[in-house]
Amino acid sequence: MTSNEALSASVWRDHQDLGAIGNYARRKHRSIGRMIAGAVVLLLLALFGLSVANAKFDWSVVRTYLVNGQILGGIERTLLLTVLAMLVGLVLGTLGGVCRLSRNPVVSGVAWLYVWFFRGTPVLVQLLLWFNLSLIFPHLSIPGLFSVSMNSVITPMVAAMLGLGVNEGAYLSEIVRGGISAVDEGQREAALAIGSSHFHMTRRIILPQTLRIILPTLGNETIGMLKFTSLASVVSFQELLATSEQIYYVNARVMELLIVVTVWYLVMTSVLTIAQYYLERHVGRSLQRGRPRSIVERLIVQLLESRRERRARADAEAGA
């Protein structure tokens, strides 16, 4: 080996050593930063826990009312309203999405006006409009057939269902329209080429694929609807929040009852989230290679991967 080659090799080794030292310093700096951030978070959590422990709060009241019959009845009505409002919204949203893509200018124009009005006004205002409809239409009638009082038709339940469902339909119509537009145009052409009618093509080919596309968004809308049902208390519908209000107006345990409501909403949204995951997994199974992992399996894999990463970093630091 010549002197120039030896010098070059020595410089290269020095360069490698400096690079290794720099990498170790950067890893150590990041590790210290993570430790400090973790310590700050733990300190804040400890302060929060200490504040909760010293608060004027009776946890026994929370435990009692978590399984109270009135609260459970409010949960049943909340779930019923969620299902009915989503059904109304899904029907109107599907019709609205299909009509928005219609070549008939009258049909598409009416669908656009529906979306414009109900997306452009607050849902709370719409609930009050439905609930007070009898002020301008005292009777619901068809001349010569029947006539009934509007108050007997628009009950708090019906007002809440229509207010939330019709509003949701306006949003879902845009979601459905986007899902239909995302379906490959070649499938429409193939369906028409074999003699399918537009109605048959839409019902048997386009809408099933649209459902798979919009399913994640539809799941999020359902979870949002579950929470929006709390607005129904303004029209005297006794859902979960209104039921808890009636209780704490009597016993003055406001925060305890609100914690009960919070816990039950978290439980219901968590169940819906898990159901959404498995429904998406079932609907999209034809696109998956092999069996998709469940939530528990994904958590285990993440834990194992993070453990391997920590072990690899520890080995690298030890080697350095």
Q: pLDDT tens digits, residue range 140-192?
A: 887 777 778 888 889 999 999 999 999 999 999 999 988 888 877 777 777 77
Provide the 10 A C-beta neighbour count for residue 168.
25
Give the CA distances from residue 274 to residues 63, 268, 269, 301, in Å, rounded to whole numbers and listed in that order.
Answer: 25, 10, 9, 18
Q: Which two tokens stand for residue 92?
A: 């109107």
Averaged pLDDT, 250-256: 90
Q: Pick from 191, 214, 240: which residue ends a domain? A: 240
**Between 112 and 301, the higher pLDDT residue:** 112
Based on the fold, state whether residues 40 and 176 are members of the same structural domain. Answer: no
Indicate whether 300 belongs to any domain.
no
Is a pLDDT exceeding 50 seen at residue 11?
no
Based on the fold, state whether residues 100 and 204 are members of the same structural domain. Answer: yes
Indicate whether 230 belongs to any domain.
yes
Which of the 8 DSSP states describes residue 270?
Answer: H
Based on the fold, state whether residues 211 and 133 are members of the same structural domain. Answer: yes
Based on the fold, state whether residues 80 and 223 are members of the same structural domain. Answer: yes
Among 280, 292, 294, 243, residue whose Cα is nearest residue 74: 243
What pLDDT, on the 0 to 100 scale, is given for residue 3? Answer: 54
Indicate whether 199 belongs to any domain.
yes
Based on the fold, state whether residues 99 and 223 are members of the same structural domain. Answer: yes
The predicted model scores a pTM of: 0.74
Percent of the chain at pLDDT > 70 equals: 81
Instruction: Provide the pLDDT confidence category of residue 26 given band limits of 50, 70 and 90.
Output: low
Q: How many helices (H) and strands (E) does the chain have?
A: 13, 2
Indicate whether 274 belongs to any domain.
no
Question: Which is it for strands 139-142 and 146-149: parallel, antiparallel or unpaired?
Answer: antiparallel
Indicate whether 298 belongs to any domain.
no
* Number of domains making up the chain: 2
Q: List pLDDT tens digits, range 255-273.
A: 999 999 999 999 999 999 9
Based on the fold, state whether residues 144 and 218 are members of the same structural domain. Answer: yes
Q: b/e for 278-307, b at 16 or more Cβ within 10 A?
A: eebeeeeeeeeeeebeeeeeeeeeeeeeee
Q: What are residue 63's phi and psi, to 5 degrees?
A: -60, -35
Instruction: Provide the pLDDT confidence category of residue 7 given band limits of 50, 70 and 90.
Output: very low
What pLDDT, on the 0 to 100 scale, is given for residue 51? Answer: 76
What pLDDT, on the 0 to 100 scale, is given for residue 27? Answer: 57
Contact predicate 118/126, CB 8 Å: yes
Based on the fold, state whether residues 81 and 229 are members of the same structural domain. Answer: yes
Indicate whether 304 belongs to any domain.
no
Q: List pLDDT tens digits, range 211-235.
A: 788 888 898 999 999 999 999 999 9
CATH of the domain at 113: 1.10.3720.10
**Between 42 and 117, the higher pLDDT residue:** 117
Instruction: Provide the pLDDT confidence category of residue 6 given band limits of 50, 70 and 90.
Output: low
Based on the fold, state whether residues 223 and 99 are members of the same structural domain. Answer: yes
Calpha distance 231→85 (Å, rounded) = 13
Q: Pick from 191, 221, 240: which residue ends a domain? A: 240
What pLDDT, on the 0 to 100 scale, is given for residue 208? Answer: 78
Based on the fold, state whether residues 95 and 230 are members of the same structural domain. Answer: yes
Q: Name 142's bridge partners.
A: 146
Calpha distance 37→31 (Å, rounded) = 10
Q: Pick from 240, 269, 301: which residue ends a domain? A: 240
Is a pLDDT exceeding 70 seen at residue 115?
yes
Q: Which two tokens stand for residue 267?
A: 């439980």
Calpha distance 243→270 (Å, rounded) = 22
Based on the fold, state whether residues 24 and 82 are members of the same structural domain. Answer: no
HSE, CB side, 13 Å, CA atoms: give it for residue 17: 6
Based on the fold, state whether residues 26 and 169 are members of the same structural domain. Answer: no
Range of the domain at 217: 75-240
Arithmetic mean of pLDDT over the chain: 82
Based on the fold, state whether residues 83 and 190 are members of the same structural domain. Answer: yes
Indicate whether 318 belongs to any domain.
no
Q: Name 146's bridge partners.
A: 142
Indicate whether 311 belongs to any domain.
no
